[in-house]
Structure 1
């Protein structure tokens, strides 16, 4: 089975649309530990979001599973995080972890795929405004991640490149996060800036001549940026149950928002839910 097919099947189960996991926060459990270690939790949440693709409802809601799994063996780790809206799947290897500095090799999905049926590529109903566009596939990107911890805050930088042949482009991400406590609440805030290479932007948001219609013209996209803000809160309900809530906002630069298949320059998503910690 081709690697792209395997990645798509995996991402349909565990990925989110946005860019990050709890590796962005200073209490992450991805630091090297001797031997085999693992931890997991399950739950469910209710979400509300708007879509940036033309033709899709500006208001969408529903239930989604909350699966969290961290597996590590010495310096290797696998992290699946669905509690935070920025969650997803990360595979990594810790090269350096000293004096509050960390350097890792990481692999993760950055951009969800979509086609003329919208973001949920397994739907069968074609969206009129997207009819005739080619499928944009999921990517998987590998690169280096440099972190610096400052007590309850963390600054990270990532430089990654697509290894699936989807867009063959570079992506640079910087993220500043902080964790604070208020009574029994754990509050997380994060602010990130992402830079996407021209091939990335053009693959997902450009329009080739054979995709044009009377309402959709040729569009050549160039390097682009996005700004991400995340707010996340958790509160224990009992020894094992945890309540959680989150908000994630993303703003896109004009290279993305000017695309004929993009309806707005931002996307927001909110979520409330519970999870059971084993």
Structure 2
């Protein structure tokens, strides 16, 4: 289950913006977020545009399908849909003492994105808002590309994510029925929380069509999330590599 796809999505989509329409494959590793589950990920990567329509994805379950209503050299405004938003938590994948919880499902989410490019400092500011049946989040990201040479681009970024109480309670809360299944579980009512992250992505052009990607990142979750009984780590490290074909 792709429980921390948001981290890979943040890092890999940042890499793709320099590549135009492209497809590729990546491999990522991370420490545990939930108590049990995958720590390595194969990452299909897609970044496709046709007129003002676009599709972006850094995992199968992080697909964004959208339309850019306005775009110039400074501002961009888009609306999009995320068929598999949020997290999927399969209780059977957790450590044995936590398998009494109910499964959490992905949710269909709608979102909007506003981008502002400051040409003087070459910094892009990206603001996203996303909402679904089980809650929503607001994200703010700053990123700046550095052109090392004709083939190599490095892009550091910093991001802040706010998660409302409905989303935190659904994915990280524990109700009384779930708490009764194991001494390791206690009732936990989720409240609104946040995460702060930094990342570094790089793109190295091998040929006119193929490029190598590299990415590393750290994301720290607030107490409202990391104190959930099913969370293993509130500080998540992620990294990986990939190869892209641009067309």
Name stretches of at least 5 consecutive residues in structure 2 with no aligned partner.
none
In structure 2, do the counterparts of structure 1 residues 238 and 143 end up closer, same or farther at CA, with 3 Å as the change threshold? Answer: closer
Name stretches of at least 5 consecutive residues in structure 1 with no aligned partner.
1-10, 30-38, 119-125
Spell out, residue by residue over 1:52-87, the C-alpha distance to the aligned partner (whole angstroms, 9 max, x if none). Answer: 112457xx336x2433240324x33222346xxxx9
In structure 2, do the counterparts of structure 1 residues 23 and 185 end up closer, same or farther at CA, with 3 Å as the change threshold? Answer: closer
In structure 2, do the counterparts of structure 1 residues 110 and 180 end up closer, same or farther at CA, with 3 Å as the change threshold? Answer: farther
Residue aligning to 1:193: 160
Secondary structure of the residue that 1:221 maps to in structure 2?
A: coil
Write out aligned runs for 1:67-146 (5 A): 67-73=45-51, 75-81=52-58, 88-98=62-72, 100-108=74-82, 109-118=84-93, 127-146=95-114
In structure 2, do the counterparts of structure 1 residues 111 and 48 end up closer, same or farther at CA, with 3 Å as the change threshold? Answer: same
Task: Normalising by structure 2, report the TM-score.
Answer: 0.84
Secondary structure of the residue that 1:217 maps to in structure 2?
A: coil
Does the aligned pair in 1 maintain the 2:62–2:85 contact within 8 Å? no
Does the aligned pair in 2 maintain the 1:241–1:274 contact within 8 Å? yes
Secondary structure of the residue that 2:5 maps to in structure 1?
A: coil
Residue aligning to 1:46: 27
Task: Normalising by structure 1, report the TM-score.
Answer: 0.75
When the two chains are superposed, the root-mean-square deviation of aligned CA atoms in Å is 2.8
Does the aligned pair in 2 maintain the 1:234–1:242 contact within 8 Å? yes
Residue aligning to 1:16: 5
